[in-house]
Amino acid sequence: MQGENALEKTNRINLLFDFYGPLLTEKQQLFMKCYFQDDYSLGEIAADFAISRQAVYEHLKRATQMLEMYEAKLGLVARHERFQHNLELLEREISRLPKESQGPLLQAAARLRE
């Protein structure tokens, strides 16, 4: 993967993995972690597990497809992104209020962020 597009794809896959990773097989989880989080190459993963690069690629491809399928059906990542966006809008509006009114509202927003 190269360029800005590759970074966006990696970030999306990592986010999907955060939400749906436990639904993948153990091997898929392991390969996804190695490739997307630990930055191993296909060749390094293949050597570590004594399989072909093509087999690693297929495991990653299948796992990515499964993550996208879960998101299409459940929409948890989209919901999370909408929530984060709306929380940012709320915090921006709170910052426009008089300082004495901001305290409790900012605390409530901070609790929502947790």
Q: Give yes or no for residue 35 having a pLDDT over 90.
A: yes
Q: Give yes or no for residue 2 having a pLDDT over 60.
A: no
**For residue 31, which of 56, 6, 64 has the smallest C-alpha distance?**
56
Predicted pLDDT at 114:
86
CA distances from 39 to 9, 32, 36, 81 (A): 14, 10, 6, 25
Residues of the chain above pLDDT 70, percent: 96
Who's near 76: CB < 8 A, 6+ residues apart? 19, 20
Predicted pLDDT at 14:
96
Domains and CATH numbers, the chain: 3-74 (1.10.10.10), 79-113 (no CATH)
pLDDT digits (tens, 9 = 90+) for 78-102: 999 999 999 999 999 999 999 888 9
CA distances from 30 to 35, 45, 93, 96 (A): 9, 10, 42, 46
Query: Does pTM top 0.85 for this prediction?
Result: no
